[in-house]
Amino acid sequence: MKWLPVTAVLIAGPAFAQSAELESACTSVARNFFMTDTLNVGVVQSFPELKPPGVRFKYSERSDTKKAEMSDTFDCEFDQPNPITKLLRFCVSRTCYSSDQEDGERRRRFEEMQLLMQRGKSARK
């Protein structure tokens, strides 16, 4: 029984490292990308301690999808964890969008998401 508290701390440990600010920013990018006010988000993992800090989550555009049935992923990378000032890259499943993207349409979508993030920050000030 002495090992039970240690095990509980080890299992719960990753949850404490999560970053609500990173998660919120990434889900906002996803909602803007899919042009929806609501997005059914499943399991979320954030990594504020990595360089660059990032977030990954499972999602569904359908509101009735159960978390266990979600298979699509959305990833974001940011310049810093707190405060977030710049989106560096985001991926929808296996398709990634960034400023150094050779595909002009993907680069354009990335620039749109950066612009929408900046507008959101300006509106909150």
pLDDT tens, 49-94? 999 999 999 999 999 999 999 999 999 999 998 888 899 999 999 9
Name the nearest CA neighbour of 29 among 83, 84, 90, 81.
Answer: 90
Q: Is residue 9 part of a domain?
A: no
**Number of structural domains the chain divides into:** 1
pLDDT tens-digit readout, 99-110: 999 999 999 999
Is the model more confident about 12 or about 64?
64
Q: Is residue 14 part of a domain?
A: no
Q: Is residue 35 part of a domain?
A: no
Q: How many residues does the chain have?
A: 125
Q: Is residue 67 part of a domain?
A: yes
Determine contact, residues 15/38, Cβ cutoff 8 Å.
Answer: no
Beta strands across the sheet bearing 87-92: 40-47, 54-60, 72-78, 87-92, 95-98
Q: Is residue 103 part of a domain?
A: yes
Q: Is residue 65 part of a domain?
A: yes
DSSP 33-73: HHT-S--EEEEEEEETTSSS-EEEEEEESSTT--GGG--EE
Q: What's this model's pTM, rounded to 2 decimal places?
A: 0.82
Determine contact, residues 45/55, Cβ cutoff 8 Å.
Answer: yes
- Which residue segment(s) compose the domain that 125 sits in? 40-125
Distances (CA, A) of 89 to 4, 74, 109, 111: 40, 11, 11, 10
Q: Is residue 116 part of a domain?
A: yes
Q: Is residue 32 part of a domain?
A: no
| Residue partners of 1: CB distance under 8 A and separation at least 6 | none
